[in-house]
Structure 1
Amino acid sequence: MISSWRKRRAAKRAGKEQQRDENGEMELTIPRGFRCPISLDLMNDPVMLSSGITYDRESIEKWIEAGNITCPLTNQVLRSLEPIPNHVIRRKIQDWCVENRSHGVERIPTPRVPISSVEVSGILSKLDVACKKQDVKGCRALVTKLKSLAKESQSNKRCIATNGAGGALSEAFAAFSAAASFDENVGVLEEILSALITMFPLDGEAKNYLVSTPAIHCLIWFLSSGDLSRRRNAVLALKELVSSMEDQRKTLNILSQIESAIEALFKLIKNPICSTSTKASLTIIYHMIASSSNSSSTIQKLVNLGIIPLLLETLVDTERSTSEKALGVLDGIVDNEQGREIAYNNALTMPVLVKKILRISNSATEFSVSILYKLCKNEQREDGGVLVEALQVGAFQKLLLLLQLGCVEKTKERVSELLKMLNLHRNKVDCVDPVDQFRGLKRPF
C-alpha cells in the first residue's frame, strides 16, 4: 500500500502521472511542459519565441502567418517573428519517448534545420548562372532542390518565397521558353512551372518576366497538352497574370492572338481536372470577355464551341465560387445575338437563372438578373417566349421578393423593368405561388 503510494507520488513529481482506463490498464499522461500551449499535443519540433515561451513549430507558424505579432500565451509583442529551436526541450521529449516506448510511445524524429536566407540566395545565384548558360540539366536540378526544400516545412517555403524565388523562377521560365530549342526545354520548363505555382502570389517583378509572348505561348502549349498536372499549373499561372490590373491588358492581348487559347480553356471546363482549375479557366475567360479589345471575336468563338449549354449544365449543381464565375461568363456571352438565341432554345436557361436568384450570393443574384434582363429585353417573339417561360418557373414572385429585400441600384432598375415586361404576359400563365420555397429565406447581405 505504502510502496504503491510512493510510486504514484514519484510519477506525479516527474510529470508522468498515470491513470487507469476503462479496462483497468495504465494510461500515460504527457507532461505539461512537453505539450504545445496552442495545440495541447506533444511537441514534435519545439521552438522558442522572444517571449521565452516554447511552442510546436507548426502551431506557432500558423499563428504568425495569420498576422499575429504577439505571444499567444503572454500577449507580449514579439521582438522577432523568427522562432528558435529549443534543443533542450526536444532532447527531454525524445528521452521521455524512449523511456515510455513500452506504452506505445514513438520517439519523435530530430527535425531538419530550416533553410536560411543565405542558403536560398546561394541556390538562386546558381540558378541564374545555369539559366544564362542555358544549362538545362543544372537548372532542373536546382529547381528540384528548391521544390524539395519548400515541401519540408512552411518556414522553408516562406523563406524561399521572401528571398526572391518567384522572380528567379519566372525569369528562368521566360528565358527557356524563348530559347530556340523549345522541345529540348519542355522538361525543365515543366519543373520550373511546378515550383513557381507554390510561390504564388507573385510580385510585380516576377509577373513582368511571365508577361511575354514566348512565356504565354508556352503556358498555352502546356494547357493544350494531355498531362493533367501540366495543364493545371498552366491555367493557375495564367489566372495569376490576369488577376493583376497592371499585367492583365498585356496578357489578354497576347492570349487573344493565340488561336488555340480559347479552345484550351474551354476544354478545361468541359473536361475538368479539379474545381480549382475550372474556376481559374472561368476567371480567365471572364476577363477575356470583359476586355474591350477583341471581346466580340472571343465571344463568337466560345459560342461556336458550345459554351452556353456547358455553362448551364455546370450551373445546375456546383459550388458558390464556380456558380458566380460561370454566371459572370454567361452574362458576357448573352451580349452576342447568336448566344442569346442558343440560350432561348435551351430548356435549362430560365429554371437555372431563376433558381440562382437569392440562393447563392449577391454577385450570383446580380449576374442572374442581368442575364435575365438581357434575354427578356431582346425577346422579339409575339407569344412572349422566354418571358412566359420565366413566369412559369416563378420569376415574377422571386423578383418581387428581391425588390423587397433590397439590392444595388443598377440591379433594382433591371428588376423593375423585368417586372413590367413579365406583367404583360401574366394572364397567359397560371403562376404557382412559391411561398413555401421562400419560407425561412434570409437576407443575403
Structure 2
Amino acid sequence: MGLSLRLRRRGGSKKELSPVMGFSEEEETTIPSQFQCPISYDLMKDPVIIASGITYDRENIEKWFESGNKTCPMTNTVLATLEQIPNHTIRRMIQGWCVSNKGSSLERIPTPRVPVTSHQVIEISGKLLSATQRGDHVGCVEMVKKMKRLVKESERNRKCLRRNGVGLVLCVCFDAFSENADATLLLEDVLFLLTWMLPIGSESQGKLTSATSFRRLVGFVRSGNQNAAFLVKELLSLDEAHVDALLEIDGVEEAFVRLIRESVCESSLTSIYHMISRKPEIVSRFVELDLVNIAVEMLVDSENSVCEKALMVLEAICDTSEGRRQVRGNELVMPILVKRILKISEFAKNKLVSVMWNICKTGQGTEVEEALRLGAFKKLVVMLQVGCEQGTKEKVTELLKTMNKHMKTKGFVEHSDSSIEFKHLKKPF
C-alpha cells in the first residue's frame, strides 16, 4: 500500500503535502510503494540498486553505509560490495508519475548527477599532473575547473577526491605555477579546492611551504584571499616548524593584521597566535601594527568564535613583558574583560582569566582596583561557583585573594555580596 498524502493550502494559494489520517473530500495524492525509499518511505529522488537487488534513495543508503553498516537494511544480508548502481528504470517511472500528477503541485524529479568514481578522479588527477609537469597552463586550468565543478556538486564527490590523493597533485600544481604572474586565477581555484582536501600529508605540506609557494600564499593573504589565510592557518596547526619558514617572508605580519582589520578573519587571528607562541620575540612587530587595540576591540560584541581567537592572541601577547605593558596600557581592556567574563564560551573564559591574571599580577595595583570597581570580584566568584578548569580555577582564586587584600589595605568598598564564602575558595582571599 502506498503512502497517502493530502494537498492542503497554506497562506493563500501555496500547497503542501501532508499525511492523510482518514477519508476526505479534499484532493489526495498517493505515492506508489515502489517509488518510496524503504528507509525513509519518502519519494526517491535518486534511486540506486545495491548488491542485494533492493532499490533505495542514494542519500539514505549512503548514510546507512557511512554509519558503518555493511548489510542491506531490508534483508539484513551482508553485502559483497557497497557499490550503488543508478536505477534508471525506476527514476524514469518516478519522473513520469510526477509529470502525470502535475496538477497536484508535484514537481518532476530532476535527473540526478551521477557521482564521480575513483577511476574518473584518478584519470583527472593524472591529466592535471601531466599538464603541470609540462608547464601547460591551459591544460591545468581545464582539469582544475573540472575538479571545482565536481566539488561543488556533492559531498560524495569531495570525499572521493580526498580519498584519491588529489590534494598532493593540487599542491604540486600550486608550487609549479607559484612564480607565474599569469596564473593567478588558476592558483585561486587551486586554493579553493585545497580547502576541501584537508588535512594534507607531509609531502603536500612540503610543496605548499616551499619558499616560492609560501610567498605566493602570503601574497594572496595580502590581497584579502580568505582561502589562502585558511590554508596558512592549517599549515601552522599541522606543524609549528612552518612558522619559521613563514616568518622569513617580508611583510607577513602586515598581511595578516591587514586581513583582520578589513574582514575580521579568524584564520588570520589563529595564524598570528601560532606565530607569537612559536616566536615570542616578534610581539613587538605586531604591537607596532596596533594588534593589541584591534584584538581588544574584537571582544566588544563579536561572536564566541571570534572572541576565542582574539583572547588567544592577547594571551600569547601577555606572555611577554612588552606585550603585557601594551595590554595594560589599553583603556578598554579591563572594562571589556570584566563585562564579558560570564558571557562567552568556557574556552574563551579560560583565556580571558589568563589575560586578566597576567596584567593584574604584573601591574602596579591600579588594574586590580579598576577590576574591583567594575564588579569583577562578584563575577569571578560566580565562575568558581559554576565550575571551571583546574588551571583557571587556580588563577581565579589567586585573583580573588589579591582583590580581597587590596580591599583591606586600600579601604576599597565592594558590594556586600563580595564577602560571600564559597567552598571553592581558600581563605584568606
Q: Structure 1 length normalisation: TM-score? A: 0.82
Contact kept, 8 Å, 2:341 with 2:379, in 1: the verdict is yes
Residues 31-430 of structure 1 mapped to structure 2, 5 A cutoff: 31-38=32-39, 40-65=41-66, 79-177=80-178, 179=179, 182-225=180-223, 228=224, 231-244=225-238, 247-249=239-241, 251-272=242-263, 278-291=265-278, 294-297=279-282, 299-380=283-364, 384-427=365-408, 428-430=411-413
Q: Is the 8 A contact 1:279 1:325 kept in 2?
A: yes
2:20 corresponds in structure 1 to none
SS in 1 for 2:251: helix
The residue type paired with residue 281 of structure 2 is S
Q: Say which SS state the counterpart of residue 28 (structure 2) adopts.
A: strand
- Unmatched 5+ residue regions in structure 2? 14-24, 419-429
Residues 107-126 of structure 1, C-alpha deviation per residue, up to 9 Å, x if partnerless?
22322332222222111111
- Report the equivalent of 2:22: none
Query: Offset at 1:414?
Result: 2.1
SS at match of 2:240: helix
Q: CA deviation at 1:407?
A: 3.5
1:61-107 deviation line (CA, Å, top 9, x unaligned):
34544555565666666543433222232122122112212333332
- Distance in 1 (CA, whole Å) between partners of 2:347 and 2:261 is 23
Distance 1:349 1:65, change over 3 A: farther
With over 3 angstroms needed to count, the CA separation of the structure-2 counterparts of 1:356 and 1:434, relative to structure 1, is farther
SS of the aligned residue for 2:48 comes to strand
Given residue 291 of structure 2, which amino acid in structure 1 is its aligned partner? I
Query: What's the offset of the Cα at 1:52?
Result: 4.6
Instruction: Please identify which structure carries the higher helix content.
Output: 1
Mapped partners of 2:307, 2:295: distance in 1 = 9
Secondary structure of 1:29's counterpart equals: strand
Alignment size in residue pairs: 402
Distance 1:405 1:262, change over 3 A: same
* Contact preservation (8 Å) 1:300, 1:336: no
SS at match of 1:28: strand
Deviation at 1:54, TM superposition (A): 3.2
In 2, Cα distance between equivalents of 1:128 and 1:317: 47
8 A Cα contact 1:197 1:237, kept in partner: yes
- For the 8 Å contact 1:354–1:368, the answer to whether it is kept is no
Deviations 1:364-389 (A, max 9, x none): 22211111111011112xxx311011
Identity of aligned residues (%): 45
How far, CA to CA, are the matches of 1:314 and 1:39 in structure 2? 45
Q: CA deviation at 1:53?
A: 4.3
Change (3 A) 1:59 1:337: same
- Indicate the SS of the match to 1:43: coil
Q: Return the match for 1:431 from 406, 414, 423.
A: 414
Change (3 A) 1:110 1:326: same
Deviations along 1:200-247, whole A, 9 cap, x unmatched? 23233322321212111110001112xx5xx11101111221121xx3
Query: CA separation in 1, counterparts of 2:212 and 2:5?
Result: 66
Shift in alpha-carbon separation, 1:423–1:193, aligned structure 2, 3 A: same
Distance in 1 (alpha carbons) for counterparts of 2:7 and 2:251: 68
Cα distance in 2 between the residues matched to 1:282 and 1:79: 49
Deviation of residue 434 (structure 1)?
A: 7.0
3-state secondary structure, aligned to 1:167: helix
**Native 8 Å contact 1:394 1:434 kept in 2:** no
